[in-house]
Every structure is written in structure tokens, then in C-alpha cells.
Amino acid sequence: MTLQLAYSNLRFGYFTREGKQYQVIGQVTRLNRDDPEDLKKLFVRTTSGQLVSIDNVVSIEESATPPALYHFNRYKSATISAGLAPGKTIGDGIAAMESIVKPLLDDTFTTSLSGSSRDFAESSGNTSFAFILALALIYLVLAAQFESFIDPLTIMVTVPLAISGAFISLWIFNQTINIFSQIGMIMLIGLVTKNGILIVEFANQKREEGLDKITAVLEASRLRLRPILMTSLAMALGSLPLALSLGDASTSRIPLGVVIVGGIMFSLILTLFVIPAMYSYLSRKRKHIDAELAELDAPAATEKHKELVYEP
């Protein structure tokens, strides 16, 4: 209590003078509290009422303490800040910090991100969830559209092709994986599946007309080539200004344009080969129709098949 009254700058109350309110502060003068030896000038009262110099009842030891104790999430904390080296991203910096932390800190310490690093980690987690959710929703929509769980798998093969093209494009143009490139990959899921939809839908129509699945998918690929080229080139050229960084303050969006253009063009080339191959392996078998077709010649087969399909 003696030390607190002498050094803690306690407020005892207020008084009013000439219409203004002032605080009453209890503390020894600065002249008597700047030197550690000034502690010896303080006296404490014993139980018998005598005053004893404080250095008779305490030991004085000099040590260094921080001027303030910072807390984060209610824990005492220390903040470590660092800048990024040229050519490095926030993700690289977080990985480097984690590699340093593991051998140095035991289980009594915890680490947490703040600032832009925390925003990056949260956005990365959100985009991963959005990517998985987009895949699931598109698969379910396609399953409802085609009334099959097999045909959507054939169509969804275009997604890994587009994502591979996106990564290759980022590597070629020396771009990084950031929030913009991740958004571009989510966009690719909806953009590239239309190639597979065009081929699979038309191939199913050809099979309904009596063609076998190999012939049907080859014919669908040939006839759907023009719309696939037109739509893919339209989307790629529409995203080209982003990739070329045309316009004010568009540099940050370059990875978005690179991902879209690279993913679409890469999947465009491979889709025409991969989708027919996957369709020939995964397409549903129509046993009741194929058995009838095997017993008939080609001209009669088509007419018989029409009867099988459209007959009530």
C-alpha cells in the first residue's frame, strides 16, 4: 500500500475551483522517485505503530520489464511482423513462419494470424468451400437434367482439365495463386462444363435415333465442334483484357484473366478428345434396345428403334 500510494499515481477524488473540476492525484514528486535509491526514503508502519525504512523489509533487485503487456484473444502475446521478399506471396510468408515456429515453440504456446495474413487464410478457406460447393451443385443440376448419375461424371471430366490449364497458365506467365486466381478457378467450373454438355446431350439424341454409342459420340463431337469453338473463343476473348491488364488499377486482376483464358483454351483442346473417350466407357447401356438392334439390319433397326422409343 505504501508503494502504491507513492508511485502508482492514484486518483483520490475531485475538487472544483473557479467553476472547473480538477483531479486529486497522490504521488511523490518526480525528484523523489527517479532513482532506485529513493525507495529507501519510504517508511512503512509496523503493527506497533513505529515507522521502519522500507529497505529493512524488502530486497531491491533491478530487472528489465516491457513497458506494456499486449494481449490477443485474452492471452499474453507478442506480435511478429515481416515484409515479403521480392517474388514471394503472403502464402509463402505464412508457410515460412510456420516452419520456423514448429521447432521453437512447445505446446504451451499457440499462434494466430492477424491483419492481411488472417484475411488471406480466411479467404482461402472460403474459396475452397465455394469450389467444392460449386462442384456439388453443378453435378446435381446435371444429374437432374440428364436423369442420370453417369452422364454428369462424363461432363465433369472437363473440370480437372480446365484447372490443370489454369495452373499451367499461371506458371507460364509467372503469376501466383491468390484470391483472384481462386475465383477464376471457381468460374471455370461453370464455363467449361458446357463443352461436355453439348457433346453428351447430342450423343444421347443420336443414340435415341439408333446409333451405337461410339458412332453417336463421334458424330456429336463433329457436329458440336462449331458451337464449342464459338462459345469458348467468345469467353476467352472476353477475359483477355483482364489477362493483358488493360485499364486503370487492373494489375491485381491479371491472375483472374490468365486463369480463365488458359483454363478455357486448355480444356477446349482436350475436351474434344477426352469427352468422347470417357463417354464410350461410362455411357449407360440400353440393353432392351441393343438386343433388338442386334437382330435387325441397319435400315430396319432405325425404324424398330423409333418404335421402341416412342411407342407408349
For residue 164, pLDDT over 80 is answered with: yes
The verdict on 95 and 134 lying in the same domain is no
The verdict on 295 and 184 lying in the same domain is yes
The predicted model gives 243-265 an average pLDDT of: 81
Confidence bin at 301 (pLDDT 50/70/90): very low
For residue 287, pLDDT over 60 is answered with: no
The predicted model gives 154-175 an average pLDDT of: 89
Q: Tell me: the pLDDT tens digits for 172-222?
A: 988 888 788 888 898 888 888 888 898 888 888 888 888 888 888 888 888
Q: Map 264-300 to HEC letters.
A: HHHHHHHHHHHHHHHHHHHCCCCHHHHHHHHCCCHHH
For residue 120, pLDDT over 80 is answered with: no
Q: Tell me: the pLDDT tens digits for 260-278?
A: 999 999 988 888 888 888 8
Q: Are 216 and 203 in contact, with CB atoms under 8 Å apart?
A: yes
Q: 43: domain CATH number? A: 3.30.2090.10
The verdict on 76 and 137 lying in the same domain is no
What are the CA-CA distances from residue 4 to residues 28, 29, 170 (Å)?
11, 14, 63
For residue 23, pLDDT over 80 is answered with: yes
Query: Percentage of the chain with pLDDT > 90?
Result: 7
The grid cell for 116 is 492481411
- pTM higher than 0.85 for the full model? no
Least confident of 122-131, 143-152, 236-245, 294-303: 294-303
Q: How far apart are CA 92 and CA 42, in angstroms?
A: 56
Q: Which residue range(s) make up the domain with 18?
A: 2-56
Structural domains of the chain, count: 3
The verdict on 38 and 76 lying in the same domain is no
The predicted model gives 81-91 an average pLDDT of: 81
Q: Judge whether 117 lies within some domain.
A: no
Q: What is the pLDDT of residue 88?
A: 78
Confidence bin at 167 (pLDDT 50/70/90): very high
Tell which residue, 256, 273, 268, 270, has the closest CA to residue 169.
256
The verdict on 94 and 210 lying in the same domain is no
Q: Judge whether 64 lies within some domain.
A: no
Neighbours of 258 (CB within 10 A): 26
The verdict on 108 and 43 lying in the same domain is no
Q: Judge whether 119 lies within some domain.
A: no
The verdict on 290 and 195 lying in the same domain is yes
The predicted model gives 161-176 an average pLDDT of: 89
Confidence bin at 285 (pLDDT 50/70/90): low
The verdict on 194 and 88 lying in the same domain is no
For residue 310, pLDDT over 50 is answered with: no
The verdict on 276 and 150 lying in the same domain is yes
The verdict on 76 and 147 lying in the same domain is no
Q: Judge whether 120 lies within some domain.
A: no
Q: Are 157 and 230 in contact, with CB atoms under 8 Å apart?
A: no
